[in-house]
Amino acid sequence: MAEKLIRVLVAKPGLDGHDRGAKVVARALRDAGMEVIYTGLRQTPEQIAAAAVQEDVNVVCLSLLSGAHNHLFPKVVQLLKEKDAGDILVVGGGVIPDADIPYLKENGIAEIFTPGTPTSKAIEFITSHVQ
Amino acid sequence: MFDKEKLASIQSAKEGWDNGTVAKALGKYKERREEFTTSSKIPVERLYTPLNTADLDYEQDLGFPGQYPFTRGVQPTMYRGRFWTMRQYAGFATAEESNKRYKYLLEQGQTGLSVAFDLPTQIGYDSDDEIAHGEIGKVGVAIDSLADMETLFSGIPLDKVSTSMTINAPASVLLAMYIAVGEKQGVSADVLRGTIQNDILKEYSARGTYIYPPAPSMRLITNIFEFCSKNVPKWNTISISGYHIREAGSTAVQEVAFTLADGIAYVKAAIDAGLNVDDFAGRLSFFFNSHNNLLEEVAKFRAARKLWAKIMKERFGATKPRSWMLRFHTQTGGSTLTAQQPDNNIVRVAMQTLAAVLGGTQSLHTNSKDEALALPTEDSVRIALRTQQIVAYESGVCDTIDPLAGSYYVEALTKKIEDEAMAYIEKIDALGGADKAIEQGFIQKEIADSSYNYQKEVESGHEVIVGMNKFYIEEKPVEGLLRVDPAVGEAQVKKLKAMKENRDNVAVKNKLDALKEAAKTDANLMPYILDAVRVYGTEGEICNILREVFGEYRPVEIL
Amino acid sequence: MELLKEARNGNKRAIARLITLAESEAEEASHALQQLYAYTGGAHIVGITGPPGSGKSTLTDKIVKKLRKEDKKVAILAVDPTSPFTGGAILGDRVRMSDLNLDEGVYIRSLGTRGKLGGLSKAVHYATKILDACDYDYIFIETVGVGQSEVDIVKTADTTIVVMVPGLGDDIQAIKAGILEIGDLFIVNKSDRDGANRLSIELQMMLDLNAVKSEWTPPINMTVASKSEGVDEVVEKIKNHFVYLQESGELTVRRRQRLETEIIDLVIQKLTTYMTKKMSKEGSYEEELNRVFNKETDPYTLVNKMLNESLK
Ligand SMILES: Nc1nc2c(ncn2[C@@H]2O[C@H](COP(=O)(O)OP(=O)(O)O)[C@@H](O)[C@H]2O)c(=O)[nH]1
Ligand SMILES: [Mg+2]
């Protein structure tokens, strides 16, 4: 029997076009043996949640640099819950001030990776938190 | 610069040094690394000597400042005449608040304005659009209509400042608003000075704030070239930007290559649209990044200047010296800033400032130390500006022109960057030009590869970032970061609603209809946009009309 | 099985779960497939293949939008290659289809080829079955045309579309032998580019040379997928082909054939699993292997002996 692969949706909610971080993460996760579904720029929380459900991913990685994280990240979590997919792990990254992290965690974001976090940390987190 | 005999003697002396003194030292102590390279993976030798510049022809390769090929600078006296324009990119929240910040910066001795717009504005959506929710006023100022633009420049006479606007896909709309504000102030368009970024190709390849597909986007750009050459002659109609290409993870060589390749595509498009190269080329300007590898950066600026001059003269047959000049704005490298120990960023910015100045920039934005965390505070913006002033007034590097010229290393590096960038440009030519290369994902893939390689080197510790992957300390979270009040969004939406109720909606509809019809032909759209803006048609309304006619761009995702 | 009921009721979460199970060849999946089998057969399965970047995803997006106007339920399986080195993959086809994300009547799933080198994974086959049983009217399978996958696609699809683009160097060279046989429909996409007409003519000539083997003459359509140009005609041809398959009786023939291959594949697979398990369990196998290696016996005798013992 083939072993179960970890599937991750890497998404950029909001309007900012800086996808350097998202692309690096996508490649690093691929190189760590995961299947990465990349959705591209300017995805609404609704689109992200719908894609996560259809793709049956284990993890959703959100990357955002515009500062709209407090609005957009929790929205994704909430929509996943509404779709009976609250078990999908949601993590976020980008320019996110420390002060916002507690709020985001309270609202269901499992972990926040701020600038300078090595991708190995994200990989470690994902592997240890999926099942 | 040396005769053959002299070179031969240097050569044999160098061999003696290599095999004797150096070999002995290496026997005792190894060097820090097996191989040294620049950020572009150009090998760096232990020592540079006249041997490395043996092929350099002073008059052909370097020449004199203000003369072809401008390697040493575009102005005859450079900073002995006047310093570069110190221009801090700023803008946040509402037009009122940004207006206050501009006035403050002008009082502090800044000499030009640089407007940052929020993302909905950059992508052509009004603040009341569903998609704008949470983004209004976040990374720049929200401008929906002429009314906001009037507030933004209230009390700032447009004939006295030069204004740079970071706006691309909807550049024509914002330029039209600026012209209309000028009209209200009684300042005619032909004295307006400033720049719009207006560089759509790098949006597709690196920055991501595009709206329409390439063909109609290129048309809007050439429309602006044509309109401005007749009506706003002092306006820099485009700022061909390598900044974002570098931020997206490219190397210095790629930054030069992809930026100039974009430039070539714009010049071609304008010529194809029937414009005379010398009528618009002088208004093209460039925008580069300045990173930490000081001497590579200096060499990069020099190489870019020389390459562009050659391209314009030899390839496009431009005859006016001004058409050959690569004039550029620089911003220090945002991606080099660390969220860890943010004070260290002041030092990085100082080094990058020095690189830009030694490279002969025409204007400069210095990043603030806290930009890896949030929008900069007033205090940190002041330090960033002071950094420029210290280099200008205290370092002495501005007192002579291009002081690093003749350095064996800098000249060798300049040549190397020129050659490698040219090889890329030839490859892109073979793919059909920058627009085609982007459509095929070539440029995006090259950038993504470099960015991933760099990331791996940082993670392996091969690349050291002080305070981040070495010399790390535990820190308390930084306090006092600037936050945009969420109420800003609601207020902006309210203001927009009120404005829409008070304007002449019949006039707006007429002007928008006229624009739509014109968009279907090959008319120059600038006058139609200007008409719509004058009657307070909003940015979103105008862009939506054009979306209907042009469609929307879907990116090529190359990973 | 709850999941099954949910999936048949159109719950995408349940459908997605089932596909994951099938993909990992979990035990639950084969139960599910057993029960779903009765409901299969209603969908028109369309394969789309062609070189990377030829516009397959863009085209699929536009075709599906058109079918949605007719209120058809559509599923898309987008297959991208798995890295043979890491086992990971980046699946990026959704980018072209993000408008369809929120459409209730559309289900999109990205799949990596995983084990099978460059080929259409078994999972795609299972996923098709599941979607078919969940009442999707159309199932599109997008695969990158690199060798084996084009041929694999025929095994699963009723209609196979081959997408080509001008300007891939020596066009006619790119039309690989074998690809002409599998296409029921040929598309010259990016016909806004130079060379599209020539490519279409050359393709026509090659098709004419090809021996006629049925009543269906594969049409060639010119499209500009990014601008939806020519897409309506493609949709019409897709439907025409299905009508042809039904009326000519070929649908029955093809599907029966496909079933047969499927059963044989299953037998082989089960046998392989069974024998490998058995061989690794039985200590004598190691000994036998040594004997073959030392030329005391030969592989053929050994295998015959093993089979005879196992299948008694
Ligand atoms: N010029 C042109 N570009 C197209 C056309 N169809 C698709 N594209 C572009 O080709 C690129 C690759 O398309 P995609 O659908 O991802 O190709 P796939 O790899 O075959 O799925 C994208 O940038 C599309 O926008 C077309 O008809 N004309
Ligand atoms: Mg595709």
Q: Which among C19, C90, C109 has the least Cβ separation from residue A36?
A: C90
Handedness of CA B34, B39, B43, B46 (dihedral sign): negative
Kindly state whether C88 is in contact with chain A, defined as any CB-CB distance less than 8 angstroms: yes
Atom 1 of ligand 1, nearest CA residue: C190
Q: Where are the alpha helices (DSSP H) in B108-213?
A: 119-122, 146-152, 171-185, 201-202
- In whole angstroms, how far apart are CA A105 and each of A47, A73, A74, A88, A99? 22, 10, 9, 14, 11
Domain B77-330+404-460 - what CATH class?
A: alpha beta
Kindly state whether A114 is in contact with chain B, defined as any CB-CB distance less than 8 angstroms: yes
Q: Coil, helix or strand for A43?
A: strand
**Is C264's pLDDT higher than 80?**
yes
Q: How many CA atoms lie within 13 A of B50 on its CB side?
A: 14
**Is C206's pLDDT higher than 90?**
no
Distance from CA of B130 to the nearest CA of C (A): 16
Residue A103 lies in a domain: yes
Which ligand lies nearest to the CA atom of residue C62 in the structure? Answer: 1
Q: Kindly report the CA angle at C79 between C76 and C84, in degrees rounded to 5?
A: 165
Q: Which amino acid is at B343?
A: D
Distance from CA of B331 to the nearest CA of C (A): 32
Residue C120 pLDDT level (bands cut at 50, 70, 90): low
**Does the distance separating the beta carbons of C88 and A33 come in below 8 Å?**
yes
Q: Which residues of A touch B455 (CB under 8 A)?
A: 24, 28, 119
Mean pLDDT score of chain B: 94
For residue A66, count other CB atoms closer than 10 A to its CB: 21
Kindly state whether C84 is in contact with chain B, defined as any CB-CB distance less than 8 angstroms: no
Token digits of residue B313: 């003269």
Which residue, B456, C163, B492, is CA-closest to A119? B456
Give pLDDT tens digits for B319-361. 999 999 999 999 999 999 998 999 999 999 999 999 999 999 9
Mean pLDDT score of chain C: 87
Give pLDDT tens digits for C170-197. 545 555 666 778 889 999 999 998 889 9
pLDDT of residue B437: 94
Residue A40 lies in a domain: yes
Give pLDDT tens digits for B509-558. 999 999 999 999 999 999 999 999 999 999 999 999 999 999 999 887 76
Residue B69 pLDDT level (bands cut at 50, 70, 90): very high
Give pLDDT tens digits for C21-60. 988 877 777 888 899 999 999 999 999 998 888 999 999 9
Residue A95 pLDDT level (bands cut at 50, 70, 90): confident
What is the count of structural domains for chain A? 1
DSSP B470: B
Is B255:B426 a contact under the CB 8 Å cutoff? no
The chains in contact with chain A, meaning 3 or more Cβ pairs closer than 8 Å, are B, C
In whole angstroms, give the CA distance from residue C248 to residue C241: 10
Q: Residue A29: give the domain boundaries.
A: 7-129
**Does the distance separating the beta carbons of A20 and B559 come in below 8 Å?**
no
Beta strand pairing call for B328-332 and B284-290: parallel
Which residue, B452, B371, B402, is CA-closest to B302? B402
Q: Which residues of B touch C95 (CB under 8 A)?
A: 554-555, 557
Beta strand pairing call for B89-90 and B193-196: unpaired
Please report the atom of ligand 1 found closest to the CA of residue B556: 23
Residues in Cβ contact with B443 at an 8 Å cutoff, skipping those fewer than 6 apart: B205, B258, B261, B428, B434, B437
- In whole angstroms, how far apart are CA C282 and each of C269, C274, C277, C279? 20, 12, 9, 5
DSSP β-bridge partners for residue A62: A11, A92
**Is B407's pLDDT higher than 70?**
yes
Q: Coil, helix or strand for A93?
A: strand
φ, ψ for residue B404 (rounded to 5)?
A: -90, -5
Residue ranges of the domains in chain C? Answer: 43-115+138-248, 259-310
* CATH architecture, domain C43-115+138-248: 3-Layer(aba) Sandwich (3.40)
Residues in Cβ contact with C278 at an 8 Å cutoff, skipping those fewer than 6 apart: C310
Distance of CA B245 to the CA centre of its chain: 9
The chains in contact with chain B, meaning 3 or more Cβ pairs closer than 8 Å, are A, C
| pTM of structure | 0.91
Average pLDDT over residues B197-225: 96
For residue C171, count other CB atoms closer than 10 A to its CB: 19
Q: Which residues of C touch A40 (CB under 8 A)?
A: 92, 94-95, 98
Give pLDDT tens digits for B137-179. 988 999 999 999 999 999 999 999 999 999 999 999 999 999 9
In whole angstroms, give the CA distance from residue B118 to residue A14: 12
Domain CATH for A86: 3.40.50.280
Kindly state whether B107 is in contact with chain C, defined as any CB-CB distance less than 8 angstroms: no
In whole angstroms, give the CA distance from residue B367 to residue B344: 12
Residue C119 pLDDT level (bands cut at 50, 70, 90): very low
**ipTM higher than threshold 0.90:** yes
Q: Which residues of B touch A107 (CB under 8 A)?
A: none
- In whole angstroms, how far apart are CA B22 and each of B28, B30, B409, C144, C235? 10, 11, 19, 56, 74
How many percent of chain B have pLDDT more than 90? Answer: 88
Average pLDDT over residues B264-284: 95
pLDDT of residue C149: 59
Q: Kindly report the CA angle at C168 between C163 and C172, in degrees rounded to 5?
A: 75
pLDDT of residue C118: 40
**Does the distance separating the beta carbons of C58 and B554 come in below 8 Å?**
yes
pLDDT of residue B39: 92
DSSP chain C: -HHHHHHHTT-HHHHHHHHHHHHTT-HHHHHHHHHHGGG-S-SEEEEEEESTTSSHHHHHHHHHHHHHHTT--EEEEEEEPPPTTTS-EEE-GGGGGGGGTT-TTEEEEEEE-TTSTTSPPHHHHHHHHHHHHTT-SEEEEEEE-STHHHHHHHHH-SEEEEEE-TTSSSHHHHS-TTHHHH-SEEEE--TTSTTHHHHHHHHHHHHHHSPP-SSPPPPEEE-BGGGTBTHHHHHHHHHHHHHHHHHHSHHHHHHHHHHHHHHHHHHHHHHHHHHHHHHHH-THHHHHHHHHHTTSS-HHHHHHHHHHHHT-
Handedness of CA C247, C250, C254, C256 (dihedral sign): positive
Strand order in the sheet with A7-11: A111-113, A89-94, A59-64, A7-11, A35-38, C89-91
In whole angstroms, give the CA distance from residue B191 to residue B377: 33
A-B Cβ pairs (cutoff 8 Å, strict): 101
Residue ranges of the domains in chain B? Answer: 77-330+404-460
Q: Which residues of C touch A55 (CB under 8 A)?
A: 16, 94, 108-110
DSSP β-bridge partners for residue A89: A59
Q: Coil, helix or strand for A11?
A: strand
In whole angstroms, give the CA distance from residue C299 to residue B113: 83
**Length in residues, chain A:** 131
**Is B32's pLDDT higher than 60?**
yes
Distance from CA of B339 to the nearest CA of A (A): 6
In whole angstroms, give the CA distance from residue B209 to residue B553: 10
Strand order in the sheet with B238-241: B85-86, B363-365, B328-332, B284-290, B238-241
Handedness of CA B468, B472, B477, B481 (dihedral sign): negative
Token digits of residue B229: 């050459």
Is A75:A106 a contact under the CB 8 Å cutoff? no
Which residue, B126, B218, B136, B135, is CA-closest to B169? B218
Atom 25 of ligand 1, nearest CA residue: C226
Residues in Cβ contact with B142 at an 8 Å cutoff, skipping those fewer than 6 apart: B93, B94, B95, B117, B118, B120, B121, B127, B136, B148, B488, B492
DSSP B131-154: GGTTTTTSSSB---SHHHHHHHTT
**Beta strands in B302-442, from DSSP E residues, in sequence order:** 328-332, 363-365
In whole angstroms, give the CA distance from residue C243 to residue C44: 10
Distance from CA of C276 to the nearest CA of B (A): 38
Kindly state whether A108 is in contact with chain B, defined as any CB-CB distance less than 8 angstroms: no
How many percent of chain B have pLDDT more than 70? Answer: 99
Distance from CA of A80 to the nearest CA of C (A): 10
- Pocket-forming residues, ligand 1, beta carbon under 6 Å: B 439, 554, 556; C 50, 52-58, 93, 96, 189-190, 192-193, 224-226
Strand order in the sheet with B162-165: B89-90, B113-115, B162-165, B193-196, B235-236
User: Which of C226, C231, C234, when mutated, tests ligand 1's pocket best, judged by the most ligand atoms within 8 Å of its CB?
Assistant: C226
Which residue, B317, B236, B241, B239, is CA-closest to B282? B236
Token digits of residue A67: 């500062």
A-C Cβ pairs (cutoff 8 Å, strict): 93
Token pair 């793919």 in the structure block, residue? B431
Is B225:B283 a contact under the CB 8 Å cutoff? yes
**Does the distance separating the beta carbons of B551 and C92 come in below 8 Å?**
no
Which of B554, B556, B559 is the mutation pick for testing C, counting most C CBs within 10 A? B554
Token pair 């910015």 in the structure block, residue? B349
Separation of CA C96 and ligand 1 centre (Å): 9
Atom 26 of ligand 1, nearest CA residue: C190
In whole angstroms, give the CA distance from residue B411 to residue B303: 9
Q: Which among B441, B554, B559 has the least Cβ separation from residue C96?
A: B554
Lowest-confidence segment of B122-136, B290-304, C83-97 by average pLDDT:
C83-97
